[in-house]
Structure 1
Amino acid sequence: MLHQAVRREFRMLAELASWAPADDAGRAADLTGHAALLARVLLQHHTTERELLWPALFRGLPAREENAARDAVAYWTSRAALLDHMLRDLSTVARQWAVAATPPSRNAFARACARVADNVDAHLTAEERDLLPLVGQYLTDAEWTTVSRVATTTLSGREQLLFLGLALEDACAIDRARLLAGLAPATRTAWRVVGRRNYRAAVVRLRGAPPAA
């Protein structure tokens, strides 16, 4: 669901930025701020996978799967490093648009979002093909619980609820129920009381239309 959300949002950002008024400081702040949030989520996601998820996976792999898994993780690592570099470059291009407020700086941001979207799609497609089936088959419930408990985030509570909305937006009913059931009771309450409303307002501000669901 996280993969689906970042794919959609980076692609949408490229489109929204391409026709945004270059000298509208408020619009630039909205779009570049959303890009920064997505970048932080993806960078933290990569850190969790690199430091926690893949080591946990290897602890449960049978010997016959180890070589193939090591090759897949090595490929993932090289692509993740390239993507992380692109995400950091995107923040530089975003600041240039905020300062210059010119069509070329706006266009550079839109092109950077499109490049990130293409690389995100290729990177996540390879991960879903080569690594996630191994996680589903060999990562134990106990290991998954440990990874979930140890993983940290620098997102504020409001940002976490916003990204929860992004993840839920295109999810099927089963995935929505599974994700909400896995949240802490306080988080579910926060989503129901203020998160859903704030998410809708944020999406309308960003896209000019309410979320799909």
Structure 2
Amino acid sequence: MTAVPTSLRPPAPAAEAPATTRAGDSQRVLHRLVRRELRTLAELATWAPPGDAARTAALTRHADLVGRVLLGHHAVERELLWPALERALPAGAARSGRARVAAWTTRCAAVDNRLRDLSTAARQWAVAGTPPARDAFALACLDLAAVVDAQTAAEERELLPLLEAHLPAREWTAIVHAARPALSARERLTVLGLALEDAAPAEQARLMAGLGRGTRLVWRLAGRARYRAAVVRLRGAPPSH
């Protein structure tokens, strides 16, 4: 799970039931967001004038945001989510669950290595402003996207069913309240917009229901319009929703 921004927190559960779709949806939405944005960045970079400092800054800044979201996601999973899941697993599933978490840890190390490679490529493009530096950034985005594809597919196949079946809702609520994403208020609204873009209607409803009243008001009065304008500047087209 990402260090899920406060704006993405699900509503508090009413009973001691498994977290089910609240936990699973949060994981899948963030996975989908990161996969989409990395591939979009690769495509946009391919067509960017390599020496255009403003365009380079816009793309590398967005890559930095996506990278921080993913790193925060992994940190909360590693420090809070999977330990809570392991405590909640019944005896018969504990050994298998621990093995799956260990496999996740190995796969995430590879993702984090690629994140460092992307950060390096972004800095080199910003300094050099050359076609090879731009192309290296685009390839780093694609390489990371492929690794994230494999890692998240395995996580959704192996760990999310356990999460949805066994994690108590009270544990999920405690985890999302303990998460402290290192994002500004504007960045949290951007991440909310990114999450809503490809979410199914039921997922969108759960995300919006989980917002505080003030955040919902900010999103409806200004956040949605600002997000749309930011996406148009970045992609040259409005968001899909």
Please indicate the TM-score interval, normalised by the length of the shorter structure: over 0.9
Q: Deviations over 1:134-164 (max 9, x none)?
A: 1100000110011011111110000000010
The answer on 1:101 being equivalent to 2:129 is yes
Could you tell me which runs of 5 or more consecutive residues in structure 2 were left unpaired when the two chains were aligned: 1-28
**Higher relative contact order by CA 8 Å / sep ≥ 6: 1 or 2?**
2
Aligned structure 1 segments of 4 or more residues deviating by more than 6 angstroms:
none
User: Counterparts of 2:210 and 2:181 in 1: how far apart (Å)?
Assistant: 17
SS in structure 2 at match of 1:209: coil
Pick aligned residue for 2:66 from 38, 44, 64: 38
User: Counterparts of 1:184 and 1:56 in 2: how far apart (Å)?
Assistant: 25
Q: In the alignment, which residue of structure 2 is the partner of 1:51? A: 79
Greater helix fraction, Structure 1 or Structure 2: 1
Pick aligned residue for 1:65 from 93, 114, 118: 93
Q: In the alignment, which residue of structure 2 is the partner of 1:112? A: 140
Q: In the alignment, which residue of structure 1 is the partner of 2:46? A: 18
User: Counterparts of 1:127 and 1:167 in 2: how far apart (Å)?
Assistant: 19
Shift of 1:25: 0.6
* Stretch of structure 1 that moved more, 176-185 or 100-109: 176-185
Shift of 1:66: 1.0
Q: In the alignment, which residue of structure 1 is the partner of 2:160? A: 132
SS in structure 2 at match of 1:17: helix
Could you tell me which runs of 5 or more consecutive residues in structure 1 were left unpaired when the two chains were aligned: none
Shift of 1:208: 0.3
Shift of 1:196: 0.4
User: Counterparts of 1:66 and 1:188 in 2: how far apart (Å)?
Assistant: 39
Shift of 1:113: 0.3
Q: When the two structures are aligned, how many residues end up with a matched partner?
A: 213
User: Counterparts of 1:193 and 1:157 in 2: how far apart (Å)?
Assistant: 15
SS in structure 1 at match of 2:49: coil
Q: In the alignment, which residue of structure 2 is the partner of 1:147? A: 175
CA RMSD of aligned residues (A): 0.8
User: Counterparts of 1:61 and 1:120 in 2: how far apart (Å)?
Assistant: 26
Shift of 1:181: 0.5
Q: Normalized against structure 2, the TM-score is what?
A: 0.87
How many percent identity over aligned positions?
Answer: 60
